[in-house]
Each structure stands twice: as C-alpha cells, then as structure tokens.
Structure 1
Amino acid sequence: MNKLNQLLGLSMRAGKLISGEELVLRAVRSRSAKLVIMSEDAAKNVEKKVTDKCHTYEIPLLRFGTRTDIGNAIGKGQRVVVALTDQGFAQSIKKLFN
C-alpha cells in the first residue's frame, strides 16, 4: 500500500494522473486513461457510472482504499476516482495488485 501511494504521488507530480469524476470519465471516453482507481467507499451511483464506462471502453479498474487514502496519496483533498494516463505508471500499479 505504501508503494502504491508513492506511485500515485509520483504520477500526480509527473502530470500523468487525473482526478475527479467528470475528468476521469472524459479520459475514459477518449481512451487516454490507461487505468482507473476508485475508492472502496464510492457512492453507488458513481461506482455504477465509472464501472460501466470502464467496462464499455475496456479500461482496467482497480478498487483501493478510501477517498481519504487516495486524496492523501496524491496530495489533494478527498478523491473518489483517479485515472492514470501513462502506461508505465499503470503497469507498475497493476503489478502491485497481482
């Protein structure tokens, strides 16, 4: 989990991470998102919307931590959903989950 937080923070500083529901959904639709991470305490309507979009556009989706955990990892306030736009960061994070 610590390594995951470091990777999320690094990708944020590198400008390869998008946060916020609307921006993430736009990135999924444009296929610029390589991986979406959603908090486990996301609201049901957000969960359904993001899950359906990721499934439709075949973007991998991971569930991780709380909105506070994700926000802290990227140095922002609470965040429910983030998207990585860099394949390298996305692959590194997926490896941590396997």
Structure 2
Amino acid sequence: MKNKIYSLLGFAQKSKNLFSGENTCEIYIKKKVIKLIIIAEDASHNTLKKMINLCNSNGIPYIIFGNRDMLSKSIGKINRTVFGIKDENFAKKILEIAELLNIERSV
C-alpha cells in the first residue's frame, strides 16, 4: 500500500503536478497552489515545524510519510524532504491511502 504513494508521487512528478524542496514548496504554499504537502519522517525538526506551521496557517493538509531517500527516488531526484502536490485528485488519493495506513496527517 505504501508503494502506491510512491507511485503516485512519480506520476505527479511526470505530469508536472509536484513541487519538491522546502523553499519551492514554501513559495507555492503562499501562492495557494499546493493542495497537499508530504514531509519525510527524517526531515529535520526545524523543517518539520516550519512546514507544519505553514500548512496550518494556510489551511493545507499534510502527511508525514516515508524517508527522504525513498521519496526522492520515487520522483527521480535526490535529498528532498518536502513535496507539494498541486493537483486535487492526486492529493485526495494520497490522503485516502494515508488514512488506510494510519499515517500521521492533518486535514
């Protein structure tokens, strides 16, 4: 089931519906483009706190899932800890899977 999230991230990347990297995601959160944020479990405490605060203040759901290596590999990049989904359908599907897996999330 976790593999489905990784696959969806790959599809989102290929269809240009995904942003990656803390700074990039921060910009697009503020522009109200992002529908879901995925934060790697091994992100730094400061990154985790900053992204959760940004999501909460902008009403954007987030999940804390996976590690940076697996998440980065799924989109063909390296060393990324924050991922932003801009397509509503991708976001909904990932949130559904996260709920089934009891992944820590906020909506």
Judge same fold: TM > 0.5, yes or no.
yes
Give the letter aligned to residue 22 of structure 2: E
Per-residue deviation, 1:11: 0.3
Q: Secondary structure of the equivalent of 2:33?
A: coil
1:9-88 equivalences in 2 (<5 Å) = 9-88=10-89
Give the letter aligned to residue 52 of structure 2: T
Q: Secondary structure of the equivalent of 2:78?
A: coil
* Matching residue of 2:6: 5
C-alpha distance in structure 2 between counterparts of 1:71 and 1:45, whole Å: 19
TM-score, normalization by structure 2? 0.89
C-alpha distance in structure 2 between counterparts of 1:87 and 1:21, whole Å: 20
C-alpha distance in structure 2 between counterparts of 1:17 and 1:27, whole Å: 11
Superposed CA RMSD: 0.7
Per-residue CA deviations over 1:32-55 (Å, capped at 9, x if unaligned) read: 000000000111111111110000
Flag structure 1 segments of 5+ consecutive residues without an equivalent: none
* Matching residue of 1:93: 94
Flag structure 2 segments of 5+ consecutive residues without an equivalent: 100-107
Per-residue deviation, 1:75: 1.1
Amino-acid identity (%)? 34
C-alpha distance in structure 2 between counterparts of 1:47 and 1:68, whole Å: 16
* Matching residue of 2:102: none
Q: How many residues were matched structurally?
A: 98
C-alpha distance in structure 2 between counterparts of 1:29 and 1:69, whole Å: 27
